[in-house]
Every structure is written in C-alpha cells, then in structure tokens.
Amino acid sequence: MTDVVVLTGAGISTESGIPDYRGPAGLWRADPDYQKLVTIDFYVADPAVRRRSWEFRRDSPAWDAAPNPAHRALVELERAGRLDRLITQNVDGLHRAAGTGAELLLELHGNMWGVACLSCPYRGTLREVLDRIDAGEDDPSCTACGGILKTTTVMFGESLDPDVLAEAIRSAKRCEVFVAIGTSLEVQPAASLAGLAAAAGARLVIVNAEPTPYDHAAAEVIREPIGTAVPALVERLLGATPER
C-alpha cells in the first residue's frame, strides 16, 4: 500500500469565496434552476440555458478566488512525500493555483477554464468565449464547425473520463489513509471512492460540516471549519510514520 489519498469537494473552496451546491448557503438553495445550467440535456436543448450558463461562468467568484489554508496544507503534504493522489470534484482550479503537482491531481469533473466543442475536436479557453459574448454574440458556437461549445467540465448526465476515474479507483484501493474533505459523498461515482478505500483497509477520515453516507465507515469524522481542520490534520499526518 502507498500513503495518503485525498478527495475534495466544493466545501474546501467555500472559504475562498466559492459557494458550494448543497450546503445551507449552497447554489441549489439560492437558485433552484441552477442545476439546469450544469445538466447536459438542458444545456444542449436550450440556447437560453447556454447563455445563462456562460453568464454564470463570467460572474463566477472563481475568477478572483485564491487558495485558502486547506489547499495550501495539502501542498505541504505533497512536498513531504506523503500524498499519493489528490482527487477533486471541483472545477475551480484552486488546487493547481495552490501548487499541487499536475502528476498527482485528478480532476474528476474537469475544470471551468477550458472550452470544448461537442461536435469536433476544437478546444479553446473560457476567456475567448466570454469575450465573444461581451462583443455581442448571444450563443457563441464553435469557430471550426459551428457546433455547441461548453466548458471542459463534466455536467450532470455526462460520463467521467474513464482513464481519470480508473486511476482514482486504483488510488483509493491502494492507500493507507483516505481523506474526504468538503464533499457530501452523495454524487457517484466519486462518492464510492471512500467506500472502496475503507473496504480495502484504508483509514477513512471525513472532514465535512454535514453528515455523509459514509460516516459510519470512517475512523474519524471532523466537523470543524475546513480552513483550520485540514492544516491541523495534515500536521498530524506529517507527525505519523508511514507504514511501508
């Protein structure tokens, strides 16, 4: 077995000013129609949904967000040689901004900064599409084939990248410690990684404000604010001698 694998969800970024989805102040409670903006069937079928989705990305607090102490603590875990994989459900890019190495980072749901065409191999940047909207285009289409553009995020109704998911599963099954941070552990298949790790003998640690379906399998459940809980947990992990 190797060492520590971490799974992060939206809760790790709330202290950076990015709302989560299901929490008390989450996006779905503030705007019940938000889920349409990130559901592929609604997105493809309705130009108005696409327009609103682009506007949502344009107004996202992620543009100005900075990594918080929890993101930075996980970089320290990596630098100490204790982090095997950092698996994230987030699309905000804050782990990369904090300094997490690309070779260790698995972005299960992609990221919001790239743009892809649904009909051809075209790839671009979110900034390029938003500039076209600001210049007057209502529903920017692919400049190569005229197809529908979307951010390089995995929407509801889409499948995860099979290679990324397969590596996440392998990592969960081989680790000694699996830490789930700021995730409700309700969205599959990401949520199942916690169960796979525990079943393979890993020590499961859950850091989340609300109960999760996997709390019963956890060796430790931490309800403290993530910005202070994660640095403290990393300090404890760095004080422990890894089993080899």
pLDDT exceeds cutoff 90 at 30: no
Question: If you average pLDDT over residues 15-38, what whole number do you get?
Answer: 70
Predicted confidence (pLDDT) at residue 90 exceeds the cutoff of 80: yes
Q: Are 13 and 182 contacting, i.e. CB atoms less than 8 angstroms apart?
A: yes
**Catalytic (active-site) positions:** 109
Q: Is the peptide bond before 121 cis (omega within 30 degrees of 0)?
A: no
pLDDT of 243: 45
Q: Reply yes or no on whether the pLDDT at 16 is more than 70.
A: yes
- pLDDT-derived band at 22 (thresholds 50, 70, 90) equals low
- Per-residue pLDDT at 88 exceeds 80: yes
Average pLDDT over the chain reads 92
Q: What is the structure's pLDDT at 225?
A: 95
- The candidate with the shortest Cα–Cα distance to 2, out of 230, 218, 166, 174, is 174
What confidence category does residue 242 fall into, taking pLDDT thresholds of 50, 70 and 90? very low
| Nearest partner of 148 among 49, 58, 36, 60, judged by Cα | 49
pLDDT confidence of residue 31: 64
Residue 83 reports pLDDT greater than 70 = yes
CA distances (Å), 66 to each of 13, 63, 224, in order? 9, 9, 21
What are the two backbone dihedrals, phi and then psi, of residue 16, each rounded to the nearest 5 degrees? -95, 5
